[in-house]
Amino acid sequence: MIYSATATAVVVGGVIGYKAMKMGASGSKTTKYLPEFEEQLPSLSGKVVAVTGSTSGTGLVFAKVAARKGVGTILLLNRPSERVTQAEEAIKKEIPEGSTTKVKSIPCDLQDFESVKNACTIIKSKFQALDVLCNNAGIMAMEDLATKDGYDVQMQTNHLSHFLLTKELFPLLQRAKELRGEARIVNHSSLARRGGLLQSEYFAKNSGGNLGGNGFTGKWNRYHYSKLANVVFTLALADKLKNSGIKSVCAAPGYSSTNLQVTSQGMTALMWTRFVSQSAEDGAMPLLQCAFGMDVQNGDFWEPSHYMNMVGPATKVKLTKECTDEGSQKMLWEASEEACGKFEI
């Protein structure tokens, strides 16, 4: 079985259970670090930022912080739902008085390539430049199913559609670099990236329903490969973007108290592990650092600094061999282009 987020929770329970007992539930989920961290982020005035998966969790925190820092426009890319309206209203409440920040929702279903392309068409018709593309959205431990496009539902949602989004919006990122000196592509991975090397069958069309079944191990293996793909994509893209002024970077939230953790198979049985979790606000710090922070370099990976990278302030970390494998990068790029079309850089 791969080294999944659930396996991490079990290990951490044994390693820092005593610390968790001392901290208590309220101490572990109280936002400790974000306010001070947010103060040192630069103004985002005039910038255009797009984020997927912004109706809850780290994506919603990300959008709220961008609004508080005076971003020019924040584009919310989500599947249409009542939660989108609620999130948009919540983000607008964070805009400082006198700020000209605009909040715009754009329909974007990551389980449908056509929907992703339509979202890109809308963005390109309204904006000439995009400063940050934050590929945040993700699903976890889903059933062994294919999307309407024929790909594993977790791989398409977590990686392939973000590859397509990045490919289609790349000209806008290039334009932002020309206008303002840099642009950033931020991918969101997980502790579950740790484990075996990428396998090509998880990227294949019509593989949904044939990738391990609906047992605990099958679901978490598919999640592992999708979150590992986020890192491998980041590094493959970073290599192609050397000296371009466009940065490809990646983050992981550690173990944060979000809807994703509560609703996924295996996590509800380990609710006691939430005693060692941190708030979604603190879990969003690596993502925010990658998108807006100083001292961020092309190819960086940031995640929490404490307790096996589960909680704490964001720090730059060294990646393990399954993430840096050059053969995996080549395979992922070829498989992703086969699914999404040629990505010319």
Rg value, the chain, Cα: 19
Better pLDDT: 337 or 276 = 337
- Res 159 pLDDT > 50: yes
CB neighbour class for 303 (10 Å; exposed up to 12, middle 13-18, buried from 19) = buried
| Residue 103 to residues 41, 53, 57, 64, 99, Cα–Cα distance (Å) | 20, 14, 18, 10, 12
Length of the chain: 345
- Res 100 pLDDT > 50: yes
CB-CB contact of 227 with 202 (8 Å) = no
| Angle value at C-alpha 138, between 135 and 142, nearest 5 degrees | 155
The tokens describing 22, both together, are 């001392």
18 is catalytic: no
Amino acid code (one letter) for 332: L
33 is catalytic: no
Confidence at residue 255, expressed as pLDDT on a 0 to 100 scale: 86
Mean confidence (pLDDT) of the chain: 88
User: Comparing 121-130, 138-147, 166-175, 203-212, which segment has the lowest mean pLDDT?
Assistant: 203-212
State the first-to-last Cα distance of the chain, in angstroms, to the nearest integer.
37
Q: What is the rounded average pLDDT of the residues 159-180?
A: 98
CA dihedral 138, 144, 149, 155 (to 10 degrees): 40
- Res 197 pLDDT > 80: yes
- Catalytic one of 29, 47, 69, 227: 227
d(CA 307, CA 278): 11
The confidence band for 274, taking pLDDT boundaries of 50, 70 and 90, is low
- Res 7 pLDDT > 60: no
- Catalytic one of 3, 223, 225, 255: 223
CATH class of residue range 5-340: alpha beta
